[in-house]
Structures are given as structure tokens and as C-alpha cells.
Amino acid sequence: MQTQKVKFVLAADIVANASNGLLLGEFNNWDLENGFSLKKAKDGSMTATVDLESGRSYQYRYLLEGGRWENDQNAHGYSSVEAFDTVNCIVHVPAAAVKESKPKAVKAEPAKAPKAKPAGKKVTVPATEKKAPAKAEKKPAPKKKAVSKKEK
């Protein structure tokens, strides 16, 4: 379940002289004990920020001191409740956008060729590398016996 922070603001002209209040609604089962306290802003409005489940709509109202119920003039909608002869506010919490996870691009780097040694310097071959076989020494050809004319 994904949630989103939703800020509720009750305008200063509706708050009037109230110094405290609660935000009640379906999100807390209209329970006074679990109501969200409203904080009075410098401009006289009252606010509360609540984490609500994404993709749902909730009915709510404000209960100010002295038992005065108020509606939000900026609600997304309203719902008539005949049993209590009142109208509740509605807030629509949009479905959370699903972030597509893309594989991270990995930059392919070409293999590094060994650096050429400058000409004229002595190069030593590490012991782990095979040396080229040494050239076979030329052996002198066997000497032919000189055959005299007499032996023929």
C-alpha cells in the first residue's frame, strides 16, 4: 500500500477566533481520540498533514472548539449525509505514479593495450612470460674423407 502526504488547510475566515480544532474523517473512522490536531498558521488558517492511501477518496470535516463543524471550501467534492442532515467534504488522493526501473547504463570501455616501450631502452621480460626459443646453433657439417685416386 502506497501512501501520500496530503495537506489540509482550513481558511482563516472560517477558522475565525477558534484556537484549536481536529481533522476527522473516514481515514480515522471519525474517532475524536484519533483526530489530527490542526495547527494555527500565522495567516490565521489551520492546517494538518496526513499520510493517506493512494488511489482512494475520503470524506472528512473539521471540528473546531465549541463543537463547531466546518467544511473545507477547497474540497475536491462534497457528499450529502442525510442521516446527520449534513454535508461532508471529499478529498481524492491520486494513485501513486509507478516508477519504471531502468537498468543503469554501463559505459563499455575498450580494453587497454599495453603501452609500447620507447625504442633504445632495455626491456626485461617478466619471469611469468615465455621467452622465444633460442635459435638452434648451426653445427659444422661433418668433414668428408678425402679419397685418394689410389683407393678408387
For 45-95, write each residue's pLDDT tens digit.
999 999 999 999 999 999 999 999 999 999 999 999 999 999 999 999 999
pLDDT of 102 strictly over 90: no
Which letter does DSSP use for residue 82 in this model? G
* Rounded CA separation 40/48 (Å): 9
Q: What is the pTM (predicted TM-score) of this model?
A: 0.63
What pLDDT does residue 96 have? 75
Cβ proximity of 44 and 12 under 8 Å? yes
> What band does 149 get if pLDDT is binned at 50, 70 and 90?
low
What pLDDT does residue 123 have? 45
**Overall average pLDDT of the 34-50 stretch:** 96
**Overall average pLDDT of the 91-111 stretch:** 63
For the chain, which domains are there?
A: 3-93 (2.60.40.10)
